[in-house]
Amino acid sequence: MSARRRLGARWRRRRPLRTRLAVMAAAAVAVVAIGVCAAAFFVIRFKLYQQLDQNLAQSATLIAQQHHAEGPGVVTGECRFLGAPACSQVVPANRAADPAKPYLLPVTEPTRAVADGRRAPYYANFTLPGGKPGRMFTTTFGKGEAVQVALRADIAERGVRQAASLLSAVGGAGVLLSAVGGYWVSRTGLAPITRLTATAERIAATRDARHRIELPPGPPGREGHEDEVTRLATTFNTMLAELEESVAARRRLVADASHELRTPLTALRTNAELLAKADLLTDAQRDRASGALGRQLREVTGLVNDLIELAREAEPQPLLEEVRLAPLTVHAVDAARGHWPAVPFTLRVARDAEGLCVPGVAARLSRLLTNLLDNAAKFSPPGAPVEVSLTATALTVRDHGPGIAEEDLPYVFDRFYRAEKARALPGSGLGLAMARQIAHAHGAELTAERAPGGGALFRLVLPVG
């Protein structure tokens, strides 16, 4: 049993799905074809003999009526001819009572058993002396006697033979057709899977996610009305599109980053080369060069750190937790106060926002907030307040600086984008890109506006529920 199961498992492992499906479909159809043919054969045979058996039973009744007084021995003549009436004989239970004349029909132990009532009447096929097929009915006659009635069975016999050969031909054709059908079913049924496999293999080999699986022509089926393979192919294509997008996004990030790093690195090298010839410089020149070098180094470091942050696309699932926003905001504002002592920060937390929780990563959310607060402080004129407010649905950061020009508004969240006027201030242009990315990862929406009365207003709309 277990050996057979192991064998089956090995068979399943070795054969390709297509062969397995073809063999299984063919086998199922073949079993049905053979079963139907066998059933038809038995029904036909039963019907053919039923007629004959009824004749025999009638003859037996007739003989019992007409010859009940006769003793053992042959009652009616030979049944050598096709159309001849039934031949019959009476057989005693006791062998000693047998007549002197030989019997016409074969007398066996079951015949005697019927005669003395030990056995029920029965039908049997036998061969007539001339080699022709016959059918015989044995039933009880008088007390301790049996009557045997026989007829030639050529017609029934021939019918059965013909039925057998015809039905085996039909069954054989059925098996052949089922083999062809199984092959066809597996070919057409698995064609989309074959295409899917080929596409997946091509992508694995070329590492090119631009390939797509061809979907069946025609309008896409309504939701839930497509077959499984089409749905699988659609899902696979969606996945490929996302993969392609993600690969492209990373490629853009790397291209942008190397482009943006080139300028500060060139400046850095110039200053480093200048300092290498320090003995040719005046003290003032040396101080200026080393100051610039330090600043540029910090800038590049900041840029690289921001890039690393930005490259982390999705939040790792295990770090997700319920983050309480009110304390997180308080903490971020306190940190900003320490960082920008000259800027007065005001914080207002609405009463219904005090217990507000969102699922997310606390460190990332506070990074988002820090980026907004840093920008606000950076662009604020001396002494102007930065106003932070948290309600149950949104978090806003507003400053009284120059604000964002109308034409810059669509771009401030782009990577490395810095408005004309902001280029003099330190920064990488990555802060807002990162902030928006963190917001999206948390299901929130981050937007920039021009605040009424001047200044910039950043609004983080929280996911509700």
Choice between 53 and 414, CB closer to ligand ADP: 414
87 binds, among Mg ion, ligand ADP, none (CB under 5 to 8 A by kind): none
Cα dihedral value 258, 263, 268, 273, nearest 10: 110
Selection from Mg ion, ligand ADP, none that 412 binds (CB < 5 to 8 A by kind) is ligand ADP
Tokens of 435: 């902030």
Nearer to ligand ADP, 49 or 413 (CB): 413
Minimum CB distance to ligand ADP, residue 307 (Å) = 12
Residue 72 binds which of Mg ion, ligand ADP, none (CB < 5-8 A, kind-dependent): none
Report the residue number whose CB is nearest to Mg ion: 431
Provide, rounded to whole angstroms, the least separation between the CB of residue 329 and ligand ADP: 17
**Residue 399's binding partner out of Mg ion, ligand ADP, none, with CB under 5 to 8 Å set by partner kind:** ligand ADP
Between 163 and 390, whose beta carbon lies closer to ligand ADP?
A: 390
Q: What is the nearest approach in angstroms of ligand ADP to the Cβ of residue 422?
A: 3
In the complex, the residues that contact ligand ADP under the rule CB under 6 A are 371, 375-376, 379, 399, 401-404, 412, 417-419, 422, 427-433, 456
Query: Alpha carbon 402 to chain centroid distance?
Result: 56
**What is the smallest separation between the CB atom of 254 and Mg ion, expressed in angstroms?**
21
417 binds, among Mg ion, ligand ADP, none (CB under 5 to 8 A by kind): ligand ADP
Shortest Å distance, C-beta 261 to ligand ADP: 14
Which residue's CB is nearer to ligand ADP, number 192 or number 431?
A: 431
Residue 256 binds which of Mg ion, ligand ADP, none (CB < 5-8 A, kind-dependent): none
Identity of the residue, 359 or 426, whose beta carbon is nearer to Mg ion in the bound complex: 426
Q: Shortest gap between Cβ of 368 and Mg ion (angstroms)?
A: 12
Binding partner of residue 404 among Mg ion, ligand ADP, none, CB cut-off 5 to 8 Å per kind: ligand ADP
Q: Which is nearer to ligand ADP, 323 or 430 (CB)?
A: 430
* Least distance CB 248 / ligand ADP (angstroms): 21
Minimum distance from residue 234 beta carbon to ligand ADP (Å): 37
- Cβ closest to ligand ADP, residue 72 vs residue 455: 455
Binding region for Mg ion (CB under 5 A): 375, 427, 431
Q: Taking CB within 5 to 8 Å according to partner kind, which of ligand ADP, Mg ion, none is near residue 112?
A: none
Which is nearer to Mg ion, 67 or 367 (by Cβ)?
367
